[in-house]
Amino acid sequence: AGPGVPVHQPGSSRLPCKPAVFIPVDRSPEIQEARLKLPILAEEQVIMEAINENPIVIICGETGSGKTTQVPQFLYEVGYASSDGAIGITEPRRVAAVSMSQRVAKEMNLSNRVVSYQIRYEGNVTDETQIKFMTDGVLLKEVQKDFLLSKYKVVIIDEAHERSMYTDILIGLLSRIVPLREKKGLPLKLIIMSATLRVEDFTNNKKLFSVTPPVIQVDARQFPVTVHFNKKTPLDDYSGECFRKVCKIHRMLPSGGILVFLTGQAEVHSLCRRLRKAFPFQKNNTAGSLVIFLSQVLPKIDLDNYSVVPVDEGDEDRDTETDDDMAGSDTDLDLGDGDSEEDEKSDSSLPLYVLPLYSLLAPEKQAKVFRPPPPGTRLCVVATNVAETSLTIPGIKYVVDCGKVKKRFYDKITGVSSFRITWISQASANQRAGRAGRTEPGHCYRLYSSAVFMDFEKFSAPEITKRPVEDLILQMKALNIEKVINFPFPTPPPTEALAAAEELLIALGALKEPPMTGRLKQQLAAKLSCPISPLGRVMATFPVAPRYAKMLALSRQHDCLPYTITIVSAMTVRELFEELDRPAVSEEEAAELKGKKARFLQMQRIWAGQGPMQKLGDLMVMLGAVGACEYAGCTRKFCEENGLRYKAMLEIRRLRGQLTTAVNSVCTDAGLFVDPKMKPPTEAQATYLRQIVLAGLGDHVARRVQAEELLDDKWKNAYKTALLEDPVFIHPSSVLFKQLPEFVVYQEIVETTKLYMKGVSAVEPEWIPALLPPYCHFGKPLENPPPSYCPETGRVRCHRPSVFHRVSWELPAVEV
Ligand code: ADP
Ligand code: MG
């Protein structure tokens, strides 16, 4: 090999692709200057040497030290990206993937055909792409298509401290992919980047990496941040408290940007609106009208300071309205009132330049937080958790931290997930505070007391240990990782969670059942080593949870796909309907509710025909509501008149579009149209839909308690389920409340005065052994004879101890 050509030495532990090239990058002087201020630049040589000499390197450095934007550039400059292999960077958040790809393209003066991003439903990757930012989920899907990730020469796992589930799995997978690539003579570099030094799960883990990777620590250049705790016990209205705090900072403290941490998109918008109202800042096309406008609302300010203002902000408010609508929540009405008179009368001499920041914000709008605020204004960014470590906003001197975060929780009983607002960890609180000391000493205002802070958990636990893992296990099995229990997880999920997932996936038919019976079979299942089935492979390609994926996979038959897509979307969105049975506060309201109820029922009658349609129960109500609403063009007016929640309907429309696209890309011959309008299903389709739903929600079957089994009064009209000892009931809001079918499937169980099933459909008992054989044990109860099927009567005895309270029942003959 001549000079400059990488030398390949087979068997060498040194990686052969140490590049000897230097690819010039044409950066502007301003960018060059800004880069030189980043702490990571001082470490460039150390980092690159470590990368050249080790297949796996861990880089730790404070948020803002330049890891995400600079490391890909270091690699690019020495030739790690080329036509036969790109640099891939994963981010747990979409907002970071998009924004970082734009930033790096800009710094390197390259087009986004070369520095690109890919997130779940969009991206700008081309054949020329050499640096690719993506969400961790995207890379996981790519591993399924090409286990060796041969498109990449380097994979960077960013934000590893967040310990998102996909990040953890990718690190486990890459620990195996890297040696495989080396064996093939096509070495892959793995770089793990973290904002904290807490990386023992990756380094002290022989199962993961046989050779401990070097850890490079980038020194922080952090200014001191003074932390101020609230004295009072924390308030529920933290949003209002944030508002008051920002007002005070803005009126009383010297210049410097403010960053507020809230928990969700709707809260962010509502605070933005309130702050804009309190400290108006309006741009206009002409300086003249701007001056007039300002002179009306801010009589005290010196107008000379405000004559030059950029013009691109005019539509901000209108757009935020739309965003808020999409958020599916309407929280802001009650926020402003109580204290508005006192607080919203501003006497500040400066307008406040208020910007929202959250994950789903359009990229152009995200980018605004990085630009300097218009002259003569103070920047105030109202953000969700994305500003904690993913994005560093320049010029922040004050941080207001509500101490809360919105997190997904999983109900152990029903497995249903929901978002809840909880306290953050101490590590998060400190990260948030750190945002104030990037360019000069700063202040952090915590809206909670120091006693509360001491009660926070130190670090938040890795996501994988806290949630059901059936979707993950299915993805892993699709990668032919059969013995999940042997997988090198950085932190393994609890064995019970793995076993529960394996069992559910077997029941759904996504995994092949172990061939033997009895004890051995249980042992094998307990070893968690069932291989994926062909059905499982199809299911793994749909971007929804396995239960729903099964429904979609079965729906190719009888043209059921559009209906299943709608049902799945509707089940994912909460609170579809206005509560029409609520007590009215006035006679007018009572009349209004009555009218809505009548129209709602009429709408349902038009949609739901006879028998099979009505047995589809609450799911038919969902289908009918979406169908009627879309027929009417999905207007706010129609929704309000018929007792539907407009925001929920818009959300369902969006999800249906996304799922239709996803299904079309999996079943290329399905040829579904993304058309929101649909006709009611036929009676036959309604029956198939009940079977489809049963097949997906198999572990959510309930059977009405029979007269002879009535133990006591509390079991009257009750159902038995597979999951609970206690009686459960059909929720009074269900259309099947009075009909009490013998067998039902439910979407979820909610606990109020009793345990109630919601989202109920009736199913026929003979479908159960046909569609859910794993839930049926063909043998006599409480004995252990070989499987028995009675050819004379065509009946099977169905018994499953853990299901239905050790009660067995006769099933009618099943037509095969
Ligand atoms: P780290 O990954 O270590 O947290 P980053 O590479 O994200 O650090 O950020 C380095 C610097 O680049 C920060 O000072 C940040 O403000 C700046 N930066 C990042 N994105 C942009 C952008 N879009 N516009 C301007 N500056 C940016
Ligand atoms: Mg980063």
Q: What is the pLDDT of residues 329-381, one digit of tens each?
A: 222 222 222 333 344 444 456 789 999 999 878 778 888 999 999 988 999 99
Please tell me the predicted confidence (pLDDT) of residue 322.
Answer: 27
DSSP 433-473: HHGGGSSS-EEEEESS-HHHHHHS-SSPPPGGGTS--HHHH
Phi, psi angles (nearest 5°) of residue 601: -65, -40
**71-87 b/e with 16+ CB inside 10 Å = b?**
bbbbbbbbbbbeeebbb
Please tell me the predicted confidence (pLDDT) of residue 712.
Answer: 81
Please tell me the predicted confidence (pLDDT) of residue 524.
Answer: 56
Phi, psi angles (nearest 5°) of residue 600: -60, -45
| 392 pocket-lining for ligand 1 (C-beta < 6 Å) | yes
* CA distance linking residue 390 with residue 369, whole number of Å: 13
Helices 495-507 and 518-526 pack at an angle, to 10 degrees, of 120
Distance in Å from the first CA to the final CA of the chain? 68
| 67 pocket-lining for ligand 1 (C-beta < 6 Å) | yes
Q: SS3 letters for 700-743?
A: HEEEECCHHHCCCHHHCCCEEECCCCCCEEECCCCCCCCCCCCE
Ligand 1, atom 5: closest residue by C-alpha: 66
Residue 619 contacts residue 693 (beta carbons within 8 Å): yes
- 745: helix, coil or strand? strand
| 61 pocket-lining for ligand 1 (C-beta < 6 Å) | yes
Residues 6+ apart with CB under 8 A from 512: 530, 531, 532, 533
Identify which of 43, 370, 392, 431 to mutate to test ligand 1's pocket (most ligand atoms within 8 A of the CB). 392
* CA distance linking residue 552 with residue 539, whole number of Å: 8
Residue 599 contacts residue 640 (beta carbons within 8 Å): no
Please tell me the predicted confidence (pLDDT) of residue 2.
Answer: 39
Residues 6+ apart with CB under 8 A from 757: 702, 719, 721, 728, 729, 730, 731, 734, 744, 746, 747, 748, 749
Identify which of 47, 103, 191 to mutate to test ligand 1's pocket (most ligand atoms within 8 A of the CB). 103
Burial class (CB in 10 A: 0-12, 13-18, 19+), 665: exposed
Residues 6+ apart with CB under 8 A from 710: 716
* CA distance linking residue 95 with residue 47, whole number of Å: 26
Phi, psi angles (nearest 5°) of residue 29: -60, -40
| 431 pocket-lining for ligand 1 (C-beta < 6 Å) | no
Q: Which atom of ligand 1 is nearest to the CA of 102?
A: 23
Q: Where are the alpha helices (DSSP H) in 146-286?
A: 165-183, 200-203, 238-252, 265-278
Positions of the chain with pLDDT lower than 50, given as ranges: 1-17, 284-347, 779-816
Q: Which two tokens stand for residue 547?
A: 């239960």
Please tell me the predicted confidence (pLDDT) of residue 378.
Answer: 94
- Please give the distance, rounded to the nearest whole angstrom, from the Cα atom of residue 89 to the centre of ligand 2: 11
* CA distance linking residue 450 with residue 759, whole number of Å: 44
Residue 550 contacts residue 510 (beta carbons within 8 Å): yes
Ligand 1, atom 13: closest residue by C-alpha: 64
User: pLDDT for 280-291, tens place per residue?
Assistant: 865 543 343 343
Strand partners, 743: 703, 763
Residue 477 C-alpha from the chain's centroid: 22
| 103 pocket-lining for ligand 1 (C-beta < 6 Å) | yes
* CA distance linking residue 284 with residue 316, whole number of Å: 12
Burial class (CB in 10 A: 0-12, 13-18, 19+), 401: buried
Q: Which atom of ligand 1 is nearest to the CA of 193?
A: 2
* CA distance linking residue 266 with residue 270, whole number of Å: 6
Nearest Cα to 508, choosing from 565, 542, 546? 546
* CA distance linking residue 755 with residue 743, whole number of Å: 17
Q: Is the ipTM of this complex over 0.90?
A: yes
